[in-house]
Amino acid sequence: VVDFVGKMGGEEWSLGGREEGDNGQGKRGRGDVIAYSNFIRTKGRALLDLSLFADRANYDALTRPSLASALPFPLSWLEPRRLRDAALARTAHLGIKLDAEDDKDDAPTEAQGEDIIPVSLRKNNSSAAKSIAAEGAVTIRLSALADEFLEPLAEMRGEGSWG
């Protein structure tokens, strides 16, 4: 990662690996790059998993077709699903559900005569309130996760050597 980032940045980036004549700055720079790349790998992976795999609409429209076109025949059917399952397992602890298909098991149980009254007008109907509260909680969690990742990166960009 250090070599790749150093090559991409060109000579103006003081990244590390340039020990001769830099008065020890190369080792500090290399440590910074390793620390920042680990930060990006650990914090950014959850955002990528949520964006590319957990959001069903995005997965169906972009991720699965892209993977299928890049892989040979048997893998084009097997790998996208395996990668999605792994991404969902990695993000399960976050409590962020972007896939509406998981809510299919909430089949309404109707008592006799209640089928005439619309669901939204029945007594003790809290499904709308629960839906709004769950959506708000997901938005708050997702925003906090994005802030946790992006705020340190914005601070790094503000520094002279990284900006």
Please work out, in degrees rounded to the nearest 5, the angle formed at the alpha carbon of residue 37 by the alpha carbons of 154 and 146. 45
What pLDDT digit, counting tens, does each position of 18-67 carry?
444 455 455 667 777 788 888 888 889 999 999 899 889 999 999 999 99
Q: How many domains does the chain fold into?
A: 1
Tens-digit pLDDT profile for residues 78-120 = 999 999 999 999 989 888 877 655 444 444 444 555 566 666 6
Q: Which domain holds residue 27?
A: 2-98+117-149
Instruction: Let me know if residue 122 belongs to a domain.
Output: yes
Residue 111, domain member (yes or no): no
In a domain, 65, yes or no: yes
Assigned domain for 43 exists: yes
Calpha distance 144→99 (Å, rounded) = 19
Higher pLDDT, 109 or 140: 140
Distance between CA 98 and CA 91 in Å, rounded? 11
Q: Is residue 162 part of a domain?
A: no
Contact at 8 Å (CB) between 33 and 5?
yes
157 within domain boundaries: no
Q: How far, in whole angstroms, is CA 8 from its chain's centroid?
A: 25
